[in-house]
Structure 1
C-alpha cells in the first residue's frame, strides 16, 4: 500500500509539473515568430481577410455590396464552426487533438487559396476599360468558396480550443497560478494583436505591391510552421480529458425537469439530489452549488420514490429522470450567460465595417505619409491603427489599470469583466458615430474638387482622417473582446469551457451575419426611382454615413440593454477545491 501511494504521488507531481508559463510559447508565440496555432492562424486568416475586399473587387471584379456581403458571410461561417469544434473537444476528442487536426484542415484551405490567387486560370481577365470588367465565373468562385470553407472548418477547431487550452495550463486550485490565468487572457490577445499587426502591414503590402500569390503564400507558410511548433510542445502540455457531451447533459436536465413539472418543489434545497461520484469527472476544480434563479430546473434534482428505489437497489439513477444539483446549475449558468452573449453581436456588426466600407473609403483618399512622400499606405493596412490602439490599451490595462484598480476593488483582475465589456460597448458606439462624420467630411472634399462622379480618383483629403474611428475600434476591442473571453471562461461550467469559448466566436458569427442583413436591407430599401441607393459602388454618391449612424443608434440601445443585463446578472457560485502550499486540497465556497 505504501508503494502504491508513493507511485500515485509521483504521478501527481509529474502532472503538476506540466503546463504553466513554459507551454505558452508553443501555444501563441506565432505572434512573435509566426510559430504556433491560434495567433499564427490569425496571421494567416487576417493576412487574407484584411485585404479580401480588395481581392474581391480588384481581382474578381465583384460589385462592392456583393463583395462586402461575401466577406461578412465568410467571417460569419468561420465564427460559427467553432461550436462544432468545441463540441468535439469537450465531448470526445480533447482540445489538443482538436487543434492539431483542425490546423491541418486550415493548412489545406490556405494552400488552395494561394494556388487560386497565383494562377491566372482561377481569375477573370483584366479590365479593358474603366467600367468594362468581367466578373469571376461560377467555377472560379466555387474554387474560392471551397478554399474558404476548408479554412472555416479549420478555424472551427482552432478558435474555441486555443484560449481554453492555454488557460488549462494554469492550475486553478493552486493560489500561485490563479492570478496568472487572467493575465494570460490579456497577453494572449496582445500576442494575437501583434500577429494581426504583421498581417495588415507586411502581408497586405506584399499583396498590393508584389502579388497575391506571394501575399497569401507568406501566411500559408506561417500556418505550416505553426502546426510544427504546436506539436513540438506536446510533452509539456497539461491535457484535460474530455468529460462527455455537454449538450447531452444539458438536454438531460431539461428533459428531467419537464418530466417532473407536476412534482411539488422541495422546501429545503439541501434535499435536492447530490452525487459526488457522478460529478467528479466534470467538476475537477469545484462543484457548482444551488442558486434560486430559474427554479423550475430544480425539479430535475428532486428525488422521487422511484428514484430512491433505483438508488437503494444499487443502480445509478437514469440521468434523463434525475440530475444532480451540479448538472442543473450547469444549465442555469449557460442560460444566464445568454443575454450577455447577445449584447456582443452589435459590436461585431460595427467592427465588420472596418474590413469592408472603411477600406473602400481609404482607397479613395490620399494615403501618403506626407505631401512629399512617395509611399502610400495600402487601404487594407489602415487596420494597423486599430491594432496599435488595441495593443497599447491592453498593455496599459494590464500593467497600470489592473494594479491600481486592484487596490480599490480587491479583485485579482482589477475590474470585473462585466464592467470591462461595458466600457468597450461605449467606445464602439463612439467609433461608428465618428466614422459617419468623417464620411461627410470626405464627400465634401470630393464635391469641392469636382470628383463626385470619378470613383477612381484620389480625393485630396488625408486618409489619416480615418485614424480616430480605427483607433476607437481598437480600444473597444481591448475592453470588449478580452472581457468576453474572461467572462465565458470564468462563468461557463468547467467541463464546457471550449464550448463557452465557441460562444465568443458565435457572437462574432452572429454580428457578421447581422452586418450582411443590415447592408442588404439598406441597399434594397434605400433605392430610389433612378436606381441610386445609400451604398453604390461609387461611395462619393452614396450615403454611407447613414449606415454608420444607424449602427450607432442600435449600439446605444444595445448599451442600455447590456447595462440592465449586467446589473441583474448572477455569478455562478462554486464550492472550489484549493490546493495549499503543502499540496493538500481544501473546499471553500466562492462566487
Structure 2
C-alpha cells in the first residue's frame, strides 16, 4: 500500500504523508458534480419523459426506476475493476470521463430538434435510441464512481492517514465522521440540483439545464485527477470474487472431510494473506461450518509445507471468513431494498401529485414551484438530520454506549426503517386529501396547496439520513478490507433492487387493478385513480420487512478481527 512516500533531501529522509483532510475537497468535488448531474436530471426525468418525449405516465415511471436500477447495478462491475485490476483512483477517473460523455450526448439530444419528437407524438425508435445510449453511458460512469468514491475517501483517514498519531478510537471516529459529511455534501449537491437546475430546465430550457451539470462533471474530472499526488492508494490485489469462488470450490471438494470442533488445526498462512489483511486478520467463527472444510489440511496437502498451496483445494481461515462475512451481510442487505422502493415514489407519483396541486408560494405570488423541486424538502430534512445527528446525537450517544459512531449502524438502520413506514403511510393519507379536494375528476389543478406534501417528503429525508448512512457504514465496516469497493457496490445494488422492485410493484398494481372499462388505480389523471392504495401496499410490505430486519439484526454476528501490532502496519506501509 502506497500511503507513505520517502524523499531524500540534503542527506535527510523526509516523510511526505498522504491522505487526510487535504484530500477531501478533490473527492467531494467529484461526488458533488456526479450528484448534480444525475439528480439534476433524475429529479425532473419524469417531466422530460412525459412532457418532452410524450411517454404515458406508467411507462415513464417504470423507465425512470429501471434506469435508476441499472445505474445502481453497474457499481458491481466498477468494484471488480477497482479491487482486482486498476485500483480505485483510476476507476473513478475513467468512470467520470465516461459519465461526462454520456451527459454531453444527453445535452445534445435535448438541443437538436431532429433528436426530439414532434408535438403530441411519442419519440421515434431512433430518438429513443440516442436517449438510451446517453443513459447507458451515465449508468456505466456512475458504476465506477459510486463503487469507489466512498471507500477511496474513507481510506484517506484509516490508520493515521492524516499523518497524526492517535488511538484506533480516534481514527475510527474520523472515518464515521467522513461518512456523515460525505452524505451531507452529497445532499447539498442534490439540494442545488432540485432547486436551481430543475428551475432552469422548466423555465429556461433543457439544453441549459443539462449543460450546466455536464460542464460541472467535466471540471470535476480535471479537479480529481489534479489531486492524485496527495491520495493514499491501495494497490489492487487478485479479484475478491475469485477468492470467494475458490473457497466454495475447495469446500465442495472436501465435503466428506470432517472438521475438528473449534476450528483447531485449520490452515493459516500469514504470508499468503498479508496483502489482503494489512489492518487485521479475520478470526475463525463457528457459523457456516461447512465452509471450514476448505481450510482443512489433508494428508496429501500437509506435504505442501513451505510451498504455495493450490487455492482451489486449500484456503486459509482468513479467506474462508471473508466468504462468511459476505454471506452474513446478505440478510441485512436484503432488508434495505423495500426502503428504496418506498423512496422511489417521490420521483414518480409524488411528483405527479405535486404537478396537479396549487404550487404558488402565496396566494398573490405568480411564481410556481417546479414539481421536481419538491424533493428539496427531502434533502433539507436529510441535511438537518445529519447535522443534528453528527453534532448532537453522536456525542450524547457516545457518552452512554462508548461507540465511536454513537449508536451501532444496525440500530441506526432500524430507526430509518420505522420512519420510512410512517412516510409511506402519510403519503397515502395526503393523496386521499388531495383527490377529495378536486372540484371534478377531470380538473387539471386541484385547489389545495402543494405544501401539504411537505410531511411525506420530509419524513423520507429523515428516514434516508438514518437508513442510507447506516447501510453504508455497515457495508464498509463489516466487509473484508480488500473488498470495500465491492461493499460499496452492494450498497448501490440494494438501491438498484429497490428500484426494480418499485417497477415490479407499480406494473403489477397497474395490471391487476385494470377493470373491464380499462380504468385502474394508476391512470395518467390521478384524480380518477386510487394512488393511495399503492402507497398503503408498500406500507404493509415495509411493516413485514421491519419485522424481518429485527430478526436478522438480533442474530447478526459481527466479523471478528485480530488487529495487527503497530509496527506491522508500519512495515506494510
CA offset at residue 459 of structure 1? 1.1
For residue 356 of structure 1, the aligned residue among 336, 348, 363 is: 348
In structure 1, the partner of 2:127 is: 140
Q: Report the Cα distance in structure 2 between the residues aligned to 1:524 and 1:488, rounded to whole angstroms.
A: 36
For residue 518 of structure 1, the aligned residue among 505, 515, 531 is: 505
Q: Report the Cα distance in structure 2 between the residues aligned to 1:411 and 1:65, rounded to whole angstroms.
A: 46
In structure 2, the partner of 1:416 is: 408
In structure 1, the partner of 2:551 is: 564
For residue 156 of structure 1, the aligned residue among 126, 130, 143 is: 143
In structure 1, the partner of 2:239 is: 245
Q: Report the Cα distance in structure 2 between the residues aligned to 1:524 and 1:390, rounded to whole angstroms.
A: 34
In structure 2, the partner of 1:31 is: none
8 A Cα contact 2:401 2:407, kept in partner:
yes
Q: Please give the per-residue CA displacement for 1:190-240, whole angstroms capped at 9, x wherever unaligned.
A: 000000000000000000000000000011011011101101110100000
TM-score scaled by structure 1?
Answer: 0.92
Instruction: Describe how 1:346-385 pairs up with structure 2 within 5 A.
Output: 346-385=338-377
CA offset at residue 268 of structure 1? 4.5
In structure 2, the partner of 1:3 is: none
Q: Secondary structure at the match of 1:305?
A: coil
Q: Secondary structure at the match of 2:307?
A: coil
8 A Cα contact 2:427 2:535, kept in partner:
yes
CA offset at residue 125 of structure 1? 1.6
Q: Please give the per-residue CA displacement for 1:326-350, whole angstroms capped at 9, x wherever unaligned.
A: 0000000000000000000000000
Q: Secondary structure at the match of 1:460?
A: strand
8 A Cα contact 2:151 2:485, kept in partner:
yes
Q: Report the Cα distance in structure 2 between the residues aligned to 1:150 and 1:253, rounded to whole angstroms.
A: 35
For residue 279 of structure 2, the aligned residue among 271, 274, 285 is: 285
For residue 542 of structure 2, the aligned residue among 534, 555, 560 is: 555
2:226 is the alignment partner of 1:206 = no
2:282 is the alignment partner of 1:271 = no
Unaligned runs of 5+ in 2: 1-5, 161-165
CA offset at residue 481 of structure 1? 0.4
Bigger shift: residues 314-323 or 505-514: 314-323
CA offset at residue 172 of structure 1? 3.1
Instruction: Describe how 1:42-441 pairs up with structure 2 within 5 A.
Output: 42-126=35-119, 133-172=120-159, 175=167, 176-311=170-305, 314-441=306-433
Q: Please give the per-residue CA displacement for 1:371-401, whole angstroms capped at 9, x wherever unaligned.
A: 1111111000000000000000000000000
Instruction: Describe how 1:437-476 pairs up with structure 2 within 5 A.
Output: 437-446=429-438, 449-450=439-440, 452-454=441-443, 457-476=444-463
Q: Secondary structure at the match of 1:258?
A: helix
For residue 576 of structure 1, the aligned residue among 560, 563, 572 is: 563
Q: Please give the per-residue CA displacement for 1:536-584, whole angstroms capped at 9, x wherever unaligned.
A: 001100110000000000000000000000000000000012538x997
CA, structure 1 residues 11+392, in 2 after alignment: closer, same or farther (shift >3 Å)?
farther
Q: Report the Cα distance in structure 1 between the residues aligned to 2:194 and 2:569, rounded to whole angstroms.
A: 47
Unaligned runs of 5+ in 1: 1-5, 29-35, 127-132, 587-591
2:29 is the alignment partner of 1:40 = no
8 A Cα contact 1:43 1:219, kept in partner:
yes
8 A Cα contact 2:92 2:144, kept in partner:
yes
Q: Please give the per-residue CA displacement for 1:37-77, whole angstroms capped at 9, x wherever unaligned.
A: 22210110000000000000000110000000000000000
In the comparison of the two structures, how many residue pairs are matched? 558
Q: Would you identify which runs of 4 or more consecutive aligned residues in structure 1 move more than 3 Å? A: 10-15, 582-586
8 A Cα contact 1:204 1:378, kept in partner:
yes
Q: Report the Cα distance in structure 1 between the residues aligned to 2:14 and 2:252, rounded to whole angstroms.
A: 45
Q: Report the Cα distance in structure 1 between the residues aligned to 2:373 and 2:14, rounded to whole angstroms.
A: 48
User: What is the RMSD computed on CA atoms of the aligned residues?
Assistant: 1.8
8 A Cα contact 1:577 1:585, kept in partner:
no
Q: Secondary structure at the match of 2:564?
A: strand
Q: Report the Cα distance in structure 1 between the residues aligned to 2:260 and 2:210, rounded to whole angstroms.
A: 62
CA offset at residue 11 of structure 1? 12
Q: Report the Cα distance in structure 2 between the residues aligned to 1:459 and 1:453, rounded to whole angstroms.
A: 10
CA offset at residue 88 of structure 1? 0.5
CA offset at residue 13 of structure 1? 7.3
In structure 1, the partner of 2:3 is: none
8 A Cα contact 2:202 2:370, kept in partner:
yes
Q: Please give the per-residue CA displacement for 1:468-507, whole angstroms capped at 9, x wherever unaligned.
A: 0000000000000000110000000000000011000000
8 A Cα contact 2:279 2:569, kept in partner:
no
Q: Report the Cα distance in structure 2 between the residues aligned to 1:206 and 1:359, rounded to whole angstroms.
A: 17
CA offset at residue 293 of structure 1? 0.6
Q: Report the Cα distance in structure 2 between the residues aligned to 1:500 and 1:562, rounded to whole angstroms.
A: 19
CA, structure 1 residues 92+270, in 2 after alignment: closer, same or farther (shift >3 Å)?
same
Q: Report the Cα distance in structure 2 between the residues aligned to 1:531 and 1:320, rounded to whole angstroms.
A: 58
Q: Report the Cα distance in structure 2 between the residues aligned to 1:61 and 1:211, rounded to whole angstroms.
A: 17
CA offset at residue 120 of structure 1? 1.5
CA offset at residue 178 of structure 1? 2.6
Q: Secondary structure at the match of 1:271?
A: coil
Q: Report the Cα distance in structure 2 between the residues aligned to 1:216 and 1:476, rounded to whole angstroms.
A: 29
8 A Cα contact 1:79 1:506, kept in partner:
yes
CA, structure 1 residues 324+211, in 2 after alignment: closer, same or farther (shift >3 Å)?
same
CA, structure 1 residues 74+260, in 2 after alignment: closer, same or farther (shift >3 Å)?
same
